[in-house]
Structure 1
């Protein structure tokens, strides 16, 4: 745990008492603060009270006397579509509102650091797609190279549940727009922007607000180095705003699919090859095509971002390349589950929207595609340019028949369930083909979340691999 600093003898309120709220409360208490807590759920309040936490009804004005700060869980709206009533009350009273990310950045550095040979660093990753894989890949590269490292934030461990840094350690954080939007302190050493596609627009008051939330990590964070994906105009804009000259190597531009020119520092992929350029000269080149844990152009973009971040803190190209080959990928994100009889089975259950499914389809050829679930507005019409890669679609869930109407000449069947889809795809697949779960839909019609959907697919495939009947 990272104890909060500069909070001794203060009364600090914590709104939302799930995993993040509990970790925040523990960090504040360890720092000497009096913690009062509130959660909208009666069961959560009762459990917290049983654990010894002081529950105070923050919906009542009389209970705000003496409170110096409100720390809110990132999932609770603070501005759009409208602020939570407790947060609005704090705003009206002039009480600072923060979240655990801001508290982390204020508390991470300690007096012990003056005895370290190498000051710890923080790499923070944000963006719409690929940030989890990029974060995990950076963490993997650091671990494989022998650097002490921890990973947390929006992936894995909550930031305040991390351990205090040791000599030379690098903490890698995935940060969502919910986290960057409100944090009052954002001071990573290296900040990474992967890309931007529409998401969470109601929470941010539109696309501009969503972009502004991501941009805060760079505009207000002031990282020593910024790694910026420039395949969208928003990334180009951030890179331009940060660079003081074309050759300013504090900004590392990354791209998947286009060569980046100019005298600055860039990392890009073309036709499966990663290239690093600095001051107009090539500094390194890596063939990504045979790396099983990084399939497809979208993962090549993640590889570029991770490469750039690790180079920014001094890792050598050979260290990074070696670690690429041992990266297994994240569950449910283009995860190679097994190869049976020359047929690959890939779990991309995280592809819950058309944009993510598009990237998955472009990563493979000769696809037996398992898709469907609770479809989103707009259907799957935007996937038509990639359907030539699909040998046959196996449609499941609530939107199976709606999806079927948009497949054109692509062969399909209504399989209804995952069990039937996997069984039918496996029985028809030929060596060299890929059975790909990339639903292009939410999971909530049949599963509680995309993880459970992906786990079901994985269990079915591994049962086949062991020669067992499907469960």
Structure 2
């Protein structure tokens, strides 16, 4: 646990008692602070009480006796409408922060600075690929024998990690919600993967969304920045950070185009990752045969992780060896089985058209399981990416709406996951990929995308068992 520094003997309000809120209370107490904990949900309050946390109704608190309010990232603090308790704290002049801010203000201790190699923090943000990139960096470090922990929006909450040891690297996945409010941001290496529209109501538009991501770099002041430059926002960010074209503190990455110039560049084209410095090629890796990183979107993730690993002094050959043993994350282009020349891939995390498009571009001869609770616009935007789809098997609430948007693509309305898996398995031929990439939310049939992916996996394994 990271004990929170700077609040010894002071009252600190904590709003939201999910995973991060409970960890925040424990970390505050470990640092000598007095947490005043509250959650609008009776269920969450009951769970907190069972964990021995004292509750205080923050709707009635005397803010004059509170040093700070720590809020969970999922609670709106500005747009579309501030939470009433956060608004009261603002009105009283009480500083508002979150667990990410507490982590960065408490991470570096006198004991850590006495190590031969003080611990480092790598922070990863962006719209897509954050989780895979974070996990891949952690995997490379682990495979190379470097002590590492993974936390943030993946794995543990940031305050729940073990106190870092000599030479350890903490790899954090950070969302725009987490970055938007954190009062302290001091990563050693910061990564920006890409940007596409998301959470726009929370950030009052695309500009606010990008501004939240940009805080990690503009206010974080990392020693090195790894920037995806396939969108104009990334190009702008890299340009803002670099003092000159050859400034090696900025590593530009791309998937699909060669990066020229005198700086430090890592890019993937036609399945090959290349590293260039000062206009000269330093290394190359063939990504095509790496099963845990299929498709251009994963090649971008590989470029980002490679750049971080090189920044930490890891040799290209060791990075390539670690790539080969990376299994991918559950529900993200996850190969769950291969039988009779047919591959079965679980990408249940593809809950919108952007992520589904990436999955559809990663494979040939696709038998596509899609559907669920569709989002605005349905799947019309996927038309350019249906060329590899042999047939679509549609499930859930939006199955019939999706069918109307498929044009000439062969399709079948199956309603349930079990039926879709059974039909796709029955029709699949050697060389085909049965792909779950729903392009929709799961809430019509499942509590979350993880349960949907687990249902797909179970149906596939059951079908393969029956075939035997």
**What TM-score do you get using the length of structure 2 for normalisation?**
0.98
Q: How does 1:256-295 map to 2 (within 5 A)?
A: 256-295=255-294
Question: Once the two structures are superposed, what CA deviation does each residue of 1:365-414 show, in whole Å capped at 9, x if it has no partner?
Answer: 11001011111101111111111111111011111111111111111111
| Counterpart for residue 224 of structure 1 | 223
Kindly indicate whether residue 376 of structure 2 is the aligned counterpart of residue 377 of structure 1. Answer: yes
Structure 2 partner of 1:151: 150
Q: 1:111 — aligned with what? A: 110
Give the CA RMSD over aligned residues. Answer: 1.1
Distance 1:329 1:259 in 2: 26
CA shift at 1:50, angstroms?
A: 4.4
Distance 1:4 1:392 in 2: 54
Unaligned runs of 5+ in 1: none
In the alignment, the residues of structure 1 paired with residue 45 and residue 333 of structure 2 have an alpha-carbon distance, to the nearest angstrom, of: 39
Give the structure 2 partner of residue 399 of structure 1: 398
Instruction: Answer yes or no: is the 8 Å Cα contact 1:56–1:63 preserved in 2.
Output: no
In 2, Cα distance between equivalents of 1:54 and 1:459: 41
1:196-232 deviation digits (Å, cap 9, x = unpaired): 0000000011111000000000000000000000000
**1:435 CA displacement:** 0.4
Aligned residue for 1:370, secondary structure, equals: strand
Q: Distance in 2 between matches of 1:340 and 1:383?
A: 28
In structure 2, the residue matched to 1:457 is 456
Residues 64 and 92 of structure 2 are in contact (CA less than 8 Å); yes or no, is this contact kept in structure 1?
A: no
1:95 aligns with 2:94: yes
Counterparts of 1:442 and 1:236 in 2: how far apart (Å)? 31
1:71 aligns with 70
Unaligned runs of 5+ in 2: none
- Distance verdict in 2 for CA 1:286–1:50, change over 3 Å: closer
CA shift for structure 1 position 468: 7.0
Structure 2 contact 352–441 (Cα < 8 Å) conserved = yes
Aligned to 1:58: 58
Partners of 2:422 and 2:463 within 8 A in 1: no
Which runs of structure 2 are paired with 1:161-180 in the superposition (5 Å)?
Answer: 161-180=160-179
Preserved contact between residue 57 and residue 63 of structure 1 (Cα < 8 Å): no
Give, in whole Å, the separation in 2 of the partners of 1:150 and 1:3.
17
Structure 1 residue matching 2:132: 3-state secondary structure: helix
For each residue in 1:228-283, what CA deviation from the matched residue of structure 2 results, as whole angstroms up to 9, or x when unmatched? 00000000010000000000000000000000000000100000000000011001
Matched residue count: 468
Separation in 1 of the partners of 2:105 and 2:464? 49
Give the 5 Å matches for 1:313-462.
313-462=312-461
- How many angstroms does 1:54 deviate by? 2.4
1:400-435 deviations in Å (ceiling 9; x for gaps)? 111111111111111111101100100110000100
Q: How does 1:185-224 map to 2 (within 5 A)?
A: 185-224=184-223
Length-normalised TM-score, structure 1: 0.98
CA distance in 1, matches of 2:333, 2:224: 29
- Structure 1 runs (4+) deviating above 3 angstroms are 49-52, 465-469
Q: CA deviation at 1:467?
A: 3.6
**2 CA distance for matches of 1:468 and 1:76?**
48
Shift of 1:45: 2.2
